[in-house]
Structure formats: C-alpha cells, structure tokens
C-alpha cells in the first residue's frame, strides 16, 4: 500500500459524473483519505450519499454550506492532490478565470498541490477554440489536463471527449503522488511508436509459443507519453487484459513477424521508438495447418518442433536509422530483462546488450522470482549510449515510465539520436 495521502476528488456536472464513484472507491482502496467536492450540477447526476458512503467523508458543494465547520480554504490548502473527474468545459473555463463561486473552484484556487483534470464533454466542446485555449492555459500553469479517450459519448455520438477509465485516472493520480510534482506537457508534436506485450508464435491452430510479458511497462510508457502531449501509436502483443491508454492509437498484433511488419510500417513517421515488447527470438519453422494429435501409443516419440530465428526488430531499426531510412528518428529505446550468470551480473550483460543493439537508451530490469514480469512495481537501471548510467527508483511501472520519458525528453531537447 502507498503512503496515505489527502486527495480531493472534484466532480463537475456531466453524465460521466457517475464514473467518479469508481474513482473514489479505487483511491480509498489504495489507502488514501478522499474528500469529494462536487458541483451543484454534478449532484443532478449522482447523489451526495453515494460519495459520502464511498469516501467516508461529508460532501458539500457551496462555500456557504456549514460555514462553521467546512473550512473552504483549508480543504485546498491541505490537499496532497486534487483530481477533477469529470472536468466539464464549464468547469475548465471557471478554473481558468479563477472563479471561486462554489466549493470546488474555491478549492482549486487555494490548492498548492498537483492538480489533475480529467475532461469529459462532447467532441465539439473539446475541440472548440475556447476549450482548447483553456486547456493550454491550465497546462501552462502547471496543471495536468488528461487527454480524453475516444469512443461512445452520450446517446449516439462518438469521438474524442470520453472520460478515461477510472483505473487510468487513478493510475495517473498515483503517479503524481509518487513523483510529488506535475507531469510536464513537453512532448507536443512528438510522434512515438511503442511496442508492448509478448508475441505469440503459432505452432498449430490451437497452440503457440508465448512468454510472460504482461505489457504493463509498455502500456505505461504509451500512457505517460500521450499525457505529456506526444502522438502515440502502440503496437500491442498479448497483454494481461490491459485497458487501452486514452488518446493512443492501438494496433494489435500476434506474432513477432506481425510486430516487425507493424514497426516497419509506422517507424518512418516516428521520432521515438520504444521497444518494450517481449519479442520471441525463435518461432516454429513450420506452422501446422491442422492440430497436432498425440499418438494412441504412449511410448511413441513426441513431436519435435524445429525453430527458426526471428528478426531482431530493435537492431533492425537501429540499422535502418544508420542507413538513413528513418530520417525522423531521434531516440531508440530498448528494454533488457536480465539475470546474472557465471559470466557477470545484470549490469555486465546489460552494458554488452546496449553495445550490441546500438540503441540510445536501454532500460534494464533484473528478472527472477516475482520481479519485472506480471507485477505492478519494479525498479532497474537506465543505460545511455554515451555511457551515462542511472538507477530507476523502486515504484509503479508508471513511475518508471515517467522517469524513462524524462530521459527521452532530455535526448530530444539536446537534438540527439
């Protein structure tokens, strides 16, 4: 469990207000003290009793409610984090102009902690120049304004403007608490290609060779980069039922060959390639068209599956850049899952791999019992081609992603690659 923090969940008046209940539940279950501050119109969509029951704290909307016991200034002052979900176009506009005509806007004015807005509105409202300007102003002032998800809105409408899933909002809320500062919006205009998850190499129509990658680290990379303003395409292999990150184009693939083709298709446009996928090094040479049956004779020899090497996608991308085929590419990031052995420790193997692969950054995880694969928390090292090495502090995979993205941002700033 993370350290207990004081979180204010502001809820504005949109149909997505009901989803704030799940968010409150997730944040309280993570061990935080949560106080819900809805607007008057939010309470037209969901009752105060729901929020009181889920947070265990009283719910007020106005600065005049219970004046003697609701310290409308202290609520903001004492918060470790304010999350507004959903943030409507109206709420964003009021936050920009510094209004304090209800408890939520008063709280936003007095808060000195990180503030996260999760917008939800109709697509037209989201893309209206007034909202676009308001979002830019809030980001310039240091608030984190999430990219909304795309998909079905109220009624028959669909497009950008959906509230991201509660799990995504709470993941990013926890990231801000872990970082202790806001997430910079520093990757606008940067096109990123991320691969994540494990590949599956078919043996026959029902069997495959797979691996234990959950895709969590790669999804966290895609999510953090999108929320820092990048245009992200995520090539996703098999993952443990992860939700697609909001604002990210997701391309689902199966085998290493499909992953390789997808990278070849998208890499020429990309400025950054992040190879977090666990790509199979070998595939069955022949894929049987019919299911392999076992013999009725228990002593009969078991089938032997011949394997063939797959392409090394990361090394291929580095080669293509050297050959001038990826003129946009400014940073190539590889991942290494290592165990030490008789020849050397984890870092010894990682340094050799960085040289062999020729990428700009290598993220190194020590793997073994309950480490790196399928778990939520992790740590590791970041090795750069110029010899710089740093430890990645223990924390969520989202925190790790945000530190790796800090390093990618530094490469982009230095005009590197």
| Nearer of residues 34 and 272 to ligand CTP, judged by Cβ | 272
* Consecutive H or E run containing 111: none
User: Nearest distance from residue 277's CB to ligand CTP, in Å?
Assistant: 5
357 is in an annotated binding site: yes
Closest CA to 146 of 158, 129, 157, 166: 166
User: Nearest distance from residue 339's CB to ligand CTP, in Å?
Assistant: 9
When asked if residue 275 is in the footprint of ligand CTP (CB under 6 A), the reply is yes
- Per-residue contact string for residues 288-317; x = within reach of ligand CTP by CB under 6 A: ----------------------x-xxx---
* Helices then strands, each counted (H, E), the chain: 13, 19
45 is in an annotated binding site: no
When asked if residue 261 is in the footprint of ligand CTP (CB under 6 A), the reply is no
Q: Give the range of 122-130, 150-158, 300-308, 330-338 binding ligand CTP by CB under 6 A.
A: 330-338
Burial 296-319 (b: 16+ CB within 10 A, else e): eeeeeeeeebeeeebbbbbbebbe
User: Nearest distance from residue 358's CB to ligand CTP, in Å?
Assistant: 11
Q: What is the DSSP letter of 386?
A: T
**What is the residue whose two structure tokens read 């490469």?**
411
When asked if residue 337 is in the footprint of ligand CTP (CB under 6 A), the reply is yes
355 is in an annotated binding site: no
Instruction: Kindly report whether the peptide bond that precedes residue 86 is cis, defined as omega within 30 degrees of 0.
Output: yes
| Nearer of residues 313 and 411 to ligand CTP, judged by Cβ | 313
Angle (CA) 11 16 18, round 5° = 75
Establish whether 211 is a catalytic residue: yes
Would you say 146 and 175 are in contact if contact means Cβ atoms under 8 Å apart? no
* Consecutive H or E run containing 152: strand 149-152
* Residues in binding contact with ligand CTP, number by CB under 6 A: 13
335 is in an annotated binding site: yes
5 is in an annotated binding site: no
Sign for the CA dihedral angle at 395, 398, 404, 405 comes to negative
| Nearer of residues 117 and 335 to ligand CTP, judged by Cβ | 335
Q: Which of 211, 238, 365, 378 is catalytic?
A: 211
Enzyme catalytic residues = 211
Residues that bind ligand CTP (CB under 6 A): 256, 275, 277, 279, 281, 310, 312-314, 334-337
């Amino acid at each position: 469990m993370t350290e207990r923090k004081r979180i204010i969940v502001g809820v504005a008046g949109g149909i997505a207000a009901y989803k704030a209940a799940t968010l409150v539940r997730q944040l309280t279950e993570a061990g935080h003290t949560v106080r819900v501050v809805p607007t008057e119109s939010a309470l037209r969509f969901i009752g105060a009793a729901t929020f009181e029951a889920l947070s265990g704290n009283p719910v007020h909307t106005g600065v005049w409610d219970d004046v003697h016991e609701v310290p409308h200034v202290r609520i903001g002052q004492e918060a470790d984090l304010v999350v507004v979900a959903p943030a409507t176009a109206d709420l964003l506009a009021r936050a920009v102009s510094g209004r304090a005509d209800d408890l939520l806007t008063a709280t936003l004015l007095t808060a000195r902690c990180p503030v996260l807005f999760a917008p939800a509105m109709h697509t037209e409202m989201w893309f209206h120049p007034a909202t676009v300007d308001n979002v830019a102003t809030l980001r310039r002032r240091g608030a984190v304004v999430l990219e909304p998800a795309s998909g079905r809105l109220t009624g028959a409408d669909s497009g950008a403007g959906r509230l991201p899933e509660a799990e995504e909002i709470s993941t990013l809320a926890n990231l801000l608490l872990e970082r202790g500062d806001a997430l910079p919006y520093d990757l606008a205009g940067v096109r990123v290609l991320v691969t994540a998850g494990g590949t599956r190499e078919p043996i026959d129509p029902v069997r495959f060779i797979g691996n234990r990658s959950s895709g969590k680290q790669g999804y966290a990379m895609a999510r953090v980069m999108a929320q820092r303003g990048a245009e992200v395409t995520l090539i996703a292999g098999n993952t443990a039922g992860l939700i697609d990150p909001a604002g990210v184009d997701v391309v689902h693939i199966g085998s290493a060959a499909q992953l390789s083709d997808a990278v070849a298709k998208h890499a020429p446009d990309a400025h950054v390639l992040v190879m977090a996928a666990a790509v199979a090094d070998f595939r069955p040479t022949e894929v049987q068209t019919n299911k392999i049956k076992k013999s009725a004779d228990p002593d009969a020899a078991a089938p032997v599956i011949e394997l063939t090497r797959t392409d090394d996608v990361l090394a291929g991308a580095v080669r293509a850049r050297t050959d001038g085929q990826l003129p946009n590419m400014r940073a190539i990031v590889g991942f290494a899952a290592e165990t030490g052995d008789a020849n050397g420790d984890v870092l010894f193997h990682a340094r050799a791999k960085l040289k062999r692969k020729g990428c700009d950054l290598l993220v190194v995880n020590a793997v073994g019992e309950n480490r790196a694969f399928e778990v939520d928390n992790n740590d590791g090292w970041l090795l750069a081609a110029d010899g710089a090495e740093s430890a990645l502090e223990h924390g969520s995979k989202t925190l790790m992603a945000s530190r790796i993205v800090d390093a990618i941002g530094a490469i982009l700033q230095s005009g590197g690659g």
